[in-house]
Amino acid sequence: MLVIVTPLRTNTIGMIDRRIFEVMKPTAVLINVGRGAVVNEDDLGKRAARGPYSGAAIDTFTEEPLSPVSPLWLLDNVIITPHIGGLHDRYAESVLPLIKPICGFCSMVEMARW
């Protein structure tokens, strides 16, 4: 499993490309919750389509929303979420206590308005 949480910088654009996909095991899963442009989407699509490949779960893309004509939509082994992959019905309750120390000057009510 390769989980990408990398920030987008000039040296990380396209960092995950065919070179990485070629050395990944056929059972590997790619999860990108970082920045979309870190993954070369063309290379990902080609690798996922060629198989065998367990697949990918992608929550961020180079351009959002993902184009309706992107070949990634057609792949059964690629899960696409619209940059909300981490949301759930108790999101605020679970996340706000984690960020309160960072934003010590904010009350929980103020943070909930974000």
Catalytic residues, by residue number, are 35, 64, 83
Closest CA to 37 of 7, 67, 65, 57: 7
Task: Name every residue whose Cβ is closer than 8 Å to that of residue 26 and which is 6 or more positions away in sequence.
Answer: 51, 52, 53, 54
Question: Would you say 70 and 41 are in contact if contact means Cβ atoms under 8 Å apart?
Answer: yes
Three-state DSSP at 101 gives coil
Distance CA 57, CA 44 (A): 11
Bond prior to 65 in cis (omega within 30° of 0): yes
